[in-house]
A and B are shown apart, each in its own frame.
Chain A
Amino acid sequence: MKFIDEYRNVPLALDLLARIRRRASRPWVLMEVCGGQTHSLLRHGIDAQLDGAVELIHGPGCPVCVTPEVAVDAAQNLALHPGVVLATFGDMLRVPGGRRTLHEVRAAGGQVKIVYSPLDAVELARRTPDRQIVFFSVGFETTAPATALAVLHADRLGVDNFSLLVAHVCVQPAMEAILQAGVCRVQGFLAAGHVCTVLGYDSYVAFVNRHRVPVVVTGFEPVDLLAGILECVEQLESQSFRVANCYPRSVRPEGNRRARQIVEQVFEPADGPWRGLGTISRGVLRLRDEWGRFDAARRFGTLAAQTVDCATECRAGDVLAGQIKPPECPAFGTRCTPDAPLGAPMVSSEGACAAYFQYRRVPVDATIGSSPLEILPS
């Protein structure tokens, strides 16, 4: 695929790997913010190849993983509400709420429909006027334009039986929270390429100046990731910190202005909870008052039951905050697997626990073949 295959060039990736190893005078600790980057790093064995030069801590950038239990419970209640069809992304179905998952609710008769896009939920509402379609909207700034566009479409097309259960989160406030945590080993960030595609990276300048850490906008293919890591290491070695863009084919400094306008027209930032990280200042999005008629919480009242905190050995919160790696959790791979997950990071296709389960159930040395870097086909 054009603009992907070129960035899986093995000789170039190996060269970048060698340069990183030569340049790193000590083991630097970097956080890749996005779960998509985590999966790519593990899938291609990049983290293992950098052992001793760069340690990669996996960030909280998996929206499915940080969606609070209370929101999942509210979605389940809506799915069981007469006349309501709950539409959402497929990843959300197996995410545990307080007691069960949407998948289990669907098996028990709840109305749950998987959609590819929030716009598909608007179309579903248009085609089924006798049902209330609630879209359970999760995601970072990457997904927010699609959700905001859904509201604007519903408004323009007069689709009154469409509403949102909003659980959108914002990345940069979470990065602030991670740096302000009592114990933080992160020395540089690989910023999430597709979040920056929408938001741009101008807003990271003040962040870099405030915290004196490199922030490197990074893509998702092996060459993208290695270029971002090399830039981070160069900055750390020279102790000269700035925002750098290693994903310029998609990201402009100001982001996508039109996408930002659409989001800002519909949503506003608010303080709110992230699963595992607690309440983050300006860490979530909520519908602006003028779009309140599309708010499922207003339309259906307080359907969100109290969430029951179930005692569990799951350490998803520590994984999401970058405090531990998934295999350090006592339940990893035994009592917690993708088929029977205790925590959301084992469910999501971008969750760090799922990535380790898929690619690292056996020791790293045994997964690496004769090639020093395995660039796998898509």
Chain B
Amino acid sequence: MCLAIPGRVIRWICRDPLLATAEIEFSGVRRVCHMACTVDAVEGDYVIVHAGVAISQVDAVEARRALRDLQLLGEDVFPPESAP
């Protein structure tokens, strides 16, 4: 029910703050989503969409930082054969 998935903003369609819509791409599939809650997103940004409404703009910096922090936590993140 609370399933929400990230998609990339392809183009804005309507910039009205209440009726805002944009075309969003999810793994190659495009659909029009409502953007009233993410009016600051720009084309190329990722937004998280639930029930046809973008509820969050993905913070790419935080996404990378969190992954990096997690990988620093452990000693054996990657098996030896895949180590650089």
Contact = CB atoms under 8 A, between A and B. Distances in A.
Interface in A50-64: 61-64
Interface in B6-52: 6, 8, 18-19, 26-27, 34, 36-39, 46, 48, 50-52
A117 B1 contact: no
Contacts of B38: 256, 258
Interface string A20-43: 000000000000001110000000
B7 to A, nearest CB: 9
A294 interface: no
A64 B1 contact: yes
Given A1-B27, A139-B51, A249 B59 contact: yes
A161 interface: no
A221 B4 CA distance: 12
A2 B53 contact: no
Contact of A4 (B2, B5, B8): B5
Contacts, number: 150
A248 B62 contact: yes
Interface size class of A (residues with CB under 8 A): 35 or more
A142 interface: yes
A197 interface: yes
A156 B34 CA distance: 15
Contacts of B52: 116-120, 146
A277 interface: no
Interface stretch (A10-18, A329-337, A363-371): A10-18
7 contacts: A16-B70, A18-B74, A118-B51, A118-B52, A153-B18, A194-B55, A227-B70
Interface of A: 1-4, 6-7, 11-12, 15-16, 18-19, 34-36, 61-64, 89, 91, 116-120, 138-140, 142-143, 145-146, 149, 152-153, 156, 192, 194-195, 197-198, 223, 227, 230, 246, 248-252, 256, 258-259, 262, 348-350
Given A4-B5, A197-B56, 14 more contacts: A1-B5, A62-B1, A64-B1, A89-B51, A119-B34, A140-B1, A146-B50, A146-B51, A153-B18, A194-B3, A198-B55, A249-B59, A250-B56, A251-B56
